[in-house]
């Protein structure tokens, strides 16, 4: 018990055997109580100052996803401008790449003529190191960091880590795609985040605050939807080969006006321009599992169906000028459509996978479309880097 409580008990004689001999002039604090009853400092009265100009303050944080993508990435690094809320995302194979990734982004912004005053991160050694601090100090940029084990000090980018990961999960779940594609979903989520209105900017978009003009969303498409990529005549083997090759929409290219597409024939991610979108349709997940395992996995190749099985996406509507009004809006998502590559009309059947074009590969055995391929435990080799958002 504390000293004042003991004196009160003695004065009021609420117990037997306690004499009122306690001295009133004792002012020595109880060090045991101070150590045993200490609590965390409150952040309620702490005032923070936000940056008011774009590029004035940058923040960065890293996240480990625990799953390696089909092309070898397991981390992502976020860099965010505090004033505009604009976000840059980068995929990384190892956390040691964080310094090079962030420094490259800072150098690029400085080369564009922008003034950076403050850079903030946590105390992770992937950023808080001699290389990073030396460069920022040489260019007059103040480097600040948060205290350890203090989630209240986490900046916007720290919370954005969880938001970006959650959006990537939602995208993968909606399209029913393998987790090996989380890198493509993450890049797409960052792209959409920058052109989406936010309450923090009074309903404006980060793109508008950064560039001063409204973003063009006319090219946005549903991630994971079915596309057909045009193949030029010089790349076709013969005149009977179909010019359209099936693929899945994975997002936008970084350095060109083109789309990223996962080929459903080869399993390669490619950047193409001539694309025909079918946003109400996608591919059965088990097919994509086996396709990625055959292309990027090690060991015995898994047999693929002789045809590509299409299935409807669970979307309520697609708002584009080229929207196909002939599709029945009341059709159940479980219905699948059988079509021929040269057919002009389609017939809808329940539980029937879609067949398109020529066989992809000769199957080693009868395909089991209802059982996904178990590829999560397979080692993966690195392929061409996808870049950043």
Which distant-in-sequence residues (6+ apart) come within 8 Å of 199 by Cβ? Answer: none
Quick: pLDDT tens for 177-208. Answer: 999 999 999 999 999 999 999 999 999 999 99
Look-up of token digits 């965390």: 40
Please state the rounded mean pLDDT for residues 230-253.
93
Quick: pLDDT tens for 315-356. Answer: 766 656 544 433 344 444 334 443 333 333 333 333 334 444
Question: Nearest-CA neighbor of 69 among 301, 300, 304, 385?
Answer: 385
Quick: pLDDT tens for 249-265. Answer: 999 999 999 999 999 99
Name the E strands within the chain: 57-64, 75-81, 87-92, 118-121, 142-145, 226-230, 244-252, 259-263, 269-272, 275-278, 281-283, 310-312, 335-338, 347-350
Quick: pLDDT tens for 276-322. Answer: 999 999 999 999 999 999 999 877 777 888 889 999 998 766 656 54
Quote the CATH superfamily of domain 57-211: Ribonuclease H-like superfamily/Ribonuclease H (3.30.420.10)
What pLDDT shows up at residue 317?
A: 61
Rg value, the chain, Cα: 29
Q: With contact defined as beta carbons under 8 Å apart, do 192 and 239 qualify?
A: no
Quick: pLDDT tens for 65-123. Answer: 999 999 999 999 999 999 999 999 999 999 999 999 999 999 999 999 999 999 999 99
Average pLDDT, the chain: 81
Q: For the chain, give every residue range classified as CATH 3.30.420.10.
A: 57-211
Q: First-to-last CA distance in the chain?
A: 59
Quick: pLDDT tens for 23-43. Answer: 555 566 777 778 887 877 766
> In this structure, how many other beta carbons lie within 10 angstroms of the beta carbon of residue 89?
23
Q: With contact defined as beta carbons under 8 Å apart, do 203 and 215 qualify?
A: no
pLDDT at 370 over 90: no
What pLDDT shows up at residue 118?
A: 96
């Amino acid at each position: 018990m504390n000293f004042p409580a003991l004196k009160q008990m003695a004065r009021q004689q609420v117990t037997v055997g306690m004499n009122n001999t306690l001295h009133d002039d004792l002012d020595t604090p109880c060090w045991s109580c101070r150590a045993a009853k200490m609590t965390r400092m409150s952040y309620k009265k702490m005032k923070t100052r936000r940056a008011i100009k774009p590029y004035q303050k940058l923040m960065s944080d890293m996240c480990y996803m625990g799953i390696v993508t089909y092309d070898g990435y397991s981390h992502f690094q976020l860099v965010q401008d505090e004033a505009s809320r604009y976000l840059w995302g980068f995929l990384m194979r190892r956390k040691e790449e964080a310094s090079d990734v962030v420094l490259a982004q800072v150098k690029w912004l400085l080369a564009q003529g922008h003034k950076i005053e403050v850079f903030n991160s946590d105390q992770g050694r992937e950023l808080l190191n001699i290389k990073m601090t030396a460069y920022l100090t040489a260019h007059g940029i103040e480097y600040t960091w948060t205290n350890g084990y203090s989630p209240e000090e986490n900046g916007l980018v720290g919370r954005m880590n969880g938001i970006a990961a959650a959006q990537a999960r939602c995208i993968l779940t909606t399209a029913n795609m393998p987790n090996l594609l989380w890198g493509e979903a993450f890049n797409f989520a960052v792209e959409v985040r920058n052109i989406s209105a936010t309450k923090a900017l009074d309903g404006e978009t980060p793109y508008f605050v950064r560039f001063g003009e409204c973003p063009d969303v006319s090219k946005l498409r549903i991630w994971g939807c079915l596309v057909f990529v045009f193949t030029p005549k010089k790349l076709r083997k013969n005149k009977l080969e179909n010019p359209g090759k099936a693929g899945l929409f994975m997002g936008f290219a970084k350095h060109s006006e083109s789309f990223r597409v996962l080929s459903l024939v080869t399993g390669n991610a490619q950047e193409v321009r001539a694309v025909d979108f079918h946003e109400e349709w996608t591919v059965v997940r088990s097919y994509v599992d086996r396709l990625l395992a055959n292309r990027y996995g090690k060991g015995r190749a898994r047999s693929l169906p002789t045809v590509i099985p299409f299935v409807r996406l669970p979307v309520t509507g697609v708002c584009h000028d080229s929207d196909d009004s002939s599709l029945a809006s009341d059709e159940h998502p479980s219905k699948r459509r059988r079509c021929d590559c040269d057919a002009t009309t389609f017939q809808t059947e329940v539980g029937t996978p879609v067949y398109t074009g020529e066989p992809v590969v000769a199957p080693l055995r009868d395909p089991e479309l209802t059982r996904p391929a178990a590829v999560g435990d397979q080692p993966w080799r690195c392929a061409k880097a996808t870049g950043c958002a």
